[in-house]
Amino acid sequence: MNPSIVERLRSAGRLDRVFIDGEWVVPQGQARSSVIDPSTEEPVAEIALGTAQDVAAAVAAARRAFATWSVSSAQSRALLLDRVHSLILERAELFAQAISLEMGAAIGFARSTQVPSAAQHIRVARDNLASYSFVTHRGDMAIMREAIGVCGLITPWNWPLYQITAKVGPALAAGCTVVLKPSELSPLSALLFAEVMQDAGIPPGVFNLVSGNGPEVGAALSAHPDVDMISITGSTRAGVLVAQAAAPTVKRVAQELGGKSPNLILPDADLARAVPAGVAAAFRNVGQSCSAPTRMIVPRARLQEVERIVLEAAASFVVGDPRSEQTTHGPVANRAQFNRVQEMISIGIAEGARLICGGLGRPEALSRGFYCRPTIFTAVHPQMQIAQEEIFGPVLALIPYDSVDEAVEIANGTVYGLGAHVQGEDLGAARAVAARIRSGQVHINYPAWNPHAPFGGYKRSGNGREYGIEGLEEYLETKAILGFQDASAPSTD
């Protein structure tokens, strides 16, 4: 463990406080929560948890600040976001160490992906704000896009900084004020982010952070009548609870929820290219991504060849201490997730899927920590639990098909529709298949990540979109003013 992150936050008094109305304040309750290092299963810090009363204070501060922030110039908001972006990059190593400590990300992955991708969300929000037309004209109408109001933002533990910036950036760009509830399981990077916001000069009340659990803080935020919008990233179960709590006040609810994403390997795909990249994508962040392509749908005639390649790809993984430069995959983030992965591996074995890699328990030589063995099942039937349920861990299912129509049916055959992949040499055929998949994003032949691409789900994967222009517009209301008359048009007086 590198104690510098915890000691830095402790000495500054951050672990004992929430951030409300521009100040670090002691929460009104006595509840506390331990931060567990998943590589050792030992507590490394303790944070104070907020209460419904703290949520009320934060919402009141956000409501007061909205009156001025919502009418501030786009230029001033863009300058603030530019300072936030710069500070994240300046403190990138602090963020990377915090993420590695709090949720077990390999330090190399935290440095190369978790932190830079989070900074990109702020940059994109800034750039979109600079070019966005908040007022357009249609005949004698003015179509105005205005900030929706006070936004409650609920973020998960698996991409702790990335999901914060994906919400805070566009919300602030739109002119909204926010109350953030980060996951109490990985709160250290969120506290560092609140420091960034303060040091960037955010006006009091525009950004507030209340640490806490879902039943107390999340529920209070969702139900609060002065919150105009809730945006949650989390499990489908959590999304349903938030939507139910928000319903009586008819607030907007944006949900980025679970997934069971397919990776459809077409018959003409170059397996030497398509399969190793698919294995890497499925096990990225130790499989703890809602859009992880953990169902590889492959031609039955090429199944044995795919099995050989996936085993070669998995053999390159180094599972171990997340602070080691040699580690490619650390532990899963917490005990509940470790238990979930073990349970689903047991179910896969009981269902009759053929285990060709990994299995139950920790990797050899690792006697403690929430480490899971990278696990691959083959000959998986599409209706097996391991092919239908989100596992959120390093478990890949190989599902054979006999025709492309059957492959598309399998791809669409879950309650989810968040991400998807299609691999094939004939780009026209791949595009045609991509168009048939019911999913918020489809990646053809592993393109580079694009922070401008809208992201969100069909079916039980959620409602609404994040990232890019669509992510900005999620935080805007539309107002039509009839009889406005375009000022550029000739006068009729």
User: For residue 443, what are its two tokens?
Assistant: 């990646």
Exposure string (b/e) for 39-71, b if CB count within 10 Å is 16 or more?
Answer: beeeebbebbbbbbebbbbbbbbbbbbbeebbe
Contact 148, 62 (CB under 8 A): no
| pLDDT for the residue numbered 174 | 98
| pLDDT for the residue numbered 488 | 61
Write out the catalytic residue numbers: 256, 290
Distance CA(98)–CA(77), nearest Å, equals 28
The parts of the chain modelled with pLDDT lower than 50 are: 1, 490-493
| pLDDT for the residue numbered 3 | 53
**How many Å from the N-terminal Cα to the C-terminal Cα in the chain?**
75
What are the angstrom distances between the C-alpha of 455 and each of 388, 417, 435, 467? 21, 11, 16, 6
Percentage of the chain lying above the pLDDT 90 cut: 97
What are the angstrom distances between the C-alpha of 220 and each of 152, 224, 356, 419, 449? 10, 6, 46, 31, 35
Contact 322, 39 (CB under 8 A): yes
Contact 234, 156 (CB under 8 A): yes
User: For residue 464, what are its two tokens?
Assistant: 């609404």
Write down all domains in the chain, each with its CATH number in brackets: 4-257+457-479 (3.40.605.10), 262-444 (3.40.309.10)
Q: Which residue's entry shows tokens 């409300």?
A: 20
Residue 493 burial (10 A CB sphere; 0-12, 13-18, 19+): exposed
Nearest CA among 218, 306, 243 for reference residue 270: 306
- Model pTM? 0.96
Contact 185, 103 (CB under 8 A): yes
- HSE of 470, CA atoms in CB hemisphere, 13 A: 13
Nearest CA among 278, 185, 212 for reference residue 18: 212
